[in-house]
């Protein structure tokens, strides 16, 4: 007899009941701030494995639940239809932060596949804040529903049929809510699809300034339309993030797994007559369970890399990703997320891609000197001052120009012994063995992943997910080792939009035990750097507070020290200067 699936702690209705899954803290990573590099990797592995757990016996739909597979099948058929009738039709993927970056990655990858087939391009992406948001944090536009609508209208000008895929892991971003609402108002052109990772009743229900709807009310209208096939809601739960609320991790991975399965199935149907079935989609997604296994089979190597990166950041060094092809893009994405996630400096973690903007192929092209991303930029701007304190991580596959990798490894090795590599190859491939040997000799550590040959259905997308997991582990783990995390919370989070503002207030409540009003007051004092709140400040709305917070560093740690020690901002600032490791500063206050 089949055993009923075991309910995991986070799935219990009593576990942090006021929070949606995407904001809950993960019981598996509670002690992450005190863990060794090796243990951090194990924790991340266990957290990622939750993506594929069975939800039987709980109220949650999961990635491989029947209703989710059915909906994905229907969406894939819509994509197939557009691929077969591309005239005046478009598939738009849109999101904020990581969700927008994944929209970009997938639109680029599947357009590339179409180009190879000499087929017209049908994919387009939108990211809140425009292309700069691909490389840096632009969180304020996330709150702007009207901007979402304008960018959708601009992307779809002249189109008669649009499949709109809005991604919001937390079912929360007003930018995406505005776009979905617009689609619902124009059903003759738009079919909306929502992708996120909370049950619909946990969608954000906060009023959006200037709008008559909330994210939740939009979802409810979509659910009504979904009954008639006019809209689709894909929202399996994948469990709380390893670092609470950090949806760049599982949220991003699950978005990639799920949308790639849909788009791949649609391409196979349109160009190879393979029927789209829930079973086929299930198989495609399940392969990624194996991707996780193959990746974390090298937990020891990932741990060593994480340790090296952590040591480097602790000593004021830098972590540089030098990547090729889509792995280069993943490096850019991971690096861009460290600033808002960990309060990191722009130079702490940086990504560079071979071919620069030509390879990135983004809508807006080169974004100016503040956004230098080519290997040439690395050679001119970073290499001259590189030392042993810095870590260089090469990200490439056997299909890339391995000679170029060796050349860069040589250049970096002259400045730092801390050169490492993540290398993917397909089973049986022995090309460029000599250069590969040289790279191995130059690198302090090399993670080599060998994937089954493409004949067995392993596409390059698998090494993309694998690289994403490794990079997320390295950058997250390194910041944990640097002391940026308290338990499994990002304490030094910038409160640059309404979601982050609310999250910060909740965190202050949780860690200080003070009432909400006192926590909000402390946060505002830290944001505006005043000991007394003025009427001007208290009468401003969250959007204005979030704007002010753009220039307020360490606002949350400052507010927390004030609350815990009942001291002035000045005194809190001095304490944090004395003990810049946030976790230790807080523990000193708590003890
Ligand atoms: O507000 C910042 C952020 O939390 C990013 O970290 C995240 O990628 C983005 O918002 C989008 O969140 P969601 O996918 O839930 O809309």
- Residue 570 tokens, joined: 């000045």
Q: Cα 65 to chain center, whole Å?
A: 23
pLDDT at 2: 47
Q: Which atom in ligand 1 lies closest to the alpha carbon of residue 175?
A: 16
Q: Is 456 a residue whose pLDDT tops 60? A: no
321-339 pLDDT, tens per residue? 999 999 999 999 999 999 8
pLDDT at 1: 44
361-405 pLDDT, tens per residue? 999 999 999 999 999 999 999 999 999 999 999 999 988 999 999
User: pLDDT-derived band of residue 57, with 50, 70 and 90 as boundaries?
Assistant: confident
Q: Looking at residues 239-268, what average pLDDT do you find?
A: 97
Q: Is 453 a residue whose pLDDT tops 80? A: no
Distance CA 342, CA 488 (A): 12
Query: Dihedrals φ, ψ of 486, to 5°?
Result: -115, 120
Q: Which atom in ligand 1 lies closest to the alpha carbon of residue 497?
A: 1
The question of ipTM being above 0.90 is answered as yes
Query: Dihedrals φ, ψ of 75, to 5°?
Result: -65, -40
515-535 pLDDT, tens per residue? 999 999 999 999 999 999 999
- Residue 413 tokens, joined: 């090795």
- Residue 279 tokens, joined: 């079973």
What residue's CA is closest to ligand 1, atom 3? Answer: 97
CA of 71 to the centre of ligand 1 (A): 24
Q: Which atom in ligand 1 lies closest to the alpha carbon of residue 137?
A: 2
As beta bridge partners, residue 234 has 195
What residue's CA is closest to ligand 1, atom 1? Answer: 139
Ligand 1 site, CB within 6 A: 95-99, 139, 142, 167-170, 172-173, 247-248, 251, 497, 499-500
147-158 pLDDT, tens per residue? 999 999 999 999
Give the sheet arrangement for strand 190-195, strand by strand.
Answer: 123-127, 89-95, 161-167, 190-195, 232-234
User: What is the percentage of the chain residues whose pLDDT exceeds 70?
Assistant: 98
pLDDT at 461: 76
Do 481 and 306 meet the contact criterion of CB atoms below 8 Å apart?
yes
Task: Share the mean pLDDT of the chain.
Answer: 94
Q: Is 3 a residue whose pLDDT tops 60? A: no
CA of 96 to the centre of ligand 1 (A): 6
Q: Which atom in ligand 1 lies closest to the alpha carbon of residue 341?
A: 6
Q: Is 313 a residue whose pLDDT tops 70? A: yes
Provide the H-helix boundaries in 297-379: 299-314, 325-342, 356-360, 375-377
Angle, vertex CA 433, rays to CA 431 and CA 437, nearest 5: 150
Distance CA 169, CA 99 (A): 7
Mutate to test the pocket of ligand 1, among 175, 336, 499 (most ligand atoms within 8 A of CB): 499
pLDDT at 262: 97
CA of 97 to the centre of ligand 1 (A): 5
CA of 499 to the centre of ligand 1 (A): 8
What residue's CA is closest to ligand 1, atom 5? Answer: 97
What residue's CA is closest to ligand 1, atom 16? Answer: 168
User: pLDDT-derived band of residue 454, with 50, 70 and 90 as boundaries?
Assistant: low
User: What is the percentage of the chain residues whose pLDDT exceeds 90?
Assistant: 85
Q: Looking at residues 105-117, what average pLDDT do you find?
A: 96
Q: Which atom in ligand 1 lies closest to the alpha carbon of residue 101?
A: 8
Q: Which atom in ligand 1 lies closest to the alpha carbon of residue 255?
A: 14
Q: Name the pTM for this structure.
A: 0.95
């Amino acid at each position: 007899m089949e055993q009923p699936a075991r309910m995991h702690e986070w799935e219990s209705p009593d576990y942090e009941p006021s929070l949606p899954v995407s904001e809950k803290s993960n019981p598996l990573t509670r002690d992450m701030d005190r863990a060794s590099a090796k243990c951090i990797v194990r924790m991340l592995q266990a957290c990622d494995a939750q993506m594929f757990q069975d939800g039987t016996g709980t109220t949650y739909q999961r990635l491989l639940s029947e209703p989710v597979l059915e909906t994905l099948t229907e969406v894939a058929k819509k994509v197939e239809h557009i691929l077969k009738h591309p005239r005046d039709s478009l598939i738009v993927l849109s999101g904020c932060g990581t969700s927008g970056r994944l929209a970009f990655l997938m639109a680029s990858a599947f357009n590339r596949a179409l180009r190879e087939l000499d087929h017209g391009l049908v994919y387009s992406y939108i990211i809140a804040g425009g292309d700069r948001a691909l490389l840096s944090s632009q969180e304020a536009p996330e709150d702007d529903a009207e901007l979402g609508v304008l960018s959708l209208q601009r992307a779809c000008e002249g189109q008669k049929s649009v499949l709109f895929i809005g991604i919001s892991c937390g079912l929360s971003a007003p930018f995406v809510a505005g776009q979905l609402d617009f689609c619902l108002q124009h059903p003759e052109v738009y079919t909306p699809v929502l992708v996120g990772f909370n049950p619909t009743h946990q969608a954000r229900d906060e009023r959006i300034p200037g709008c008559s709807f909330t994210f939740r009310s939009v979802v409810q209208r979509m659910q009504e339309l979904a009954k008639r096939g006019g809209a689709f809601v894909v929202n399996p739960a994948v469990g709380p993030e390893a670092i609470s609320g950090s949806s760049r991790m599982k949220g991003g991975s699950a978005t990639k797994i799920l949308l790639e399965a849909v788009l791949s199935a649609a391409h196979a149907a349109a160009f190879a007559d393979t029927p789209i079935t829930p079973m086929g989609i299930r198989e495609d997604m399940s392969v990624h369970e194996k991707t996780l296994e193959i990746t974390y089979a090298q937990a020891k190597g990932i741990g060593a890399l994480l340790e090296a990166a952590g040591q480097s950041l602790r000593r004021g060094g830098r972590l540089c990703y030098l990547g090729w092809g889509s792995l280069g893009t993943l490096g850019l994405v991971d690096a861009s997320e460290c600033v808002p996630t960990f309060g990191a400096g722009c130079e702490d973690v940086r990504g560079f891609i071979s071919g620069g903007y030509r390879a990135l192929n983004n809508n807006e092209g080169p974004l100016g000197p503040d956004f230098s991303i080519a290997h040439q930029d690395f050679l001119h701007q970073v290499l001259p001052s590189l030392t042993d304190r810095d870590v260089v991580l090469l990200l490439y596959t056997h299909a890339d120009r391995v000679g170029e990798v060796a050349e860069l490894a040589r250049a970096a090795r002259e400045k730092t012994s801390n050169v490492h590599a993540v290398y993917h190859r397909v089973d049986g491939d022995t090309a460029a063995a000599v250069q590969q040997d040289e790279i191995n000799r130059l690198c302090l550590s090399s993670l080599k992943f060998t994937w089954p040959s493409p004949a067995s259905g392993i596409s390059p997308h698998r090494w993309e997910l694998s690289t994403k997991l490794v990079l997320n582990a390295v950058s997250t783990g390194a910041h944990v080792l640097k002391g940026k995390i308290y338990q499994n919370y990002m304490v030094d989070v910038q409160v640059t939009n309404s979601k982050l503002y609310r999250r910060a207030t909740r965190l202050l409540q949780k860690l200080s035990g003070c009432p909400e009003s006192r926590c909000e007051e402390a946060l505002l004092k830290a944001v505006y750097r005043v000991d007394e709140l003025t009427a001007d400040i208290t009468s401003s709305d969250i959007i204005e507070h979030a704007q002010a917070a753009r220039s307020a560093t360490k606002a949350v740690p400052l507010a927390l020290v004030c609350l815990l020690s009942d001291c002035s901002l000045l005194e809190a600032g001095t304490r944090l200067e004395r003990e810049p490791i946030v976790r230790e500063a807080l523990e000193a206050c708590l003890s």
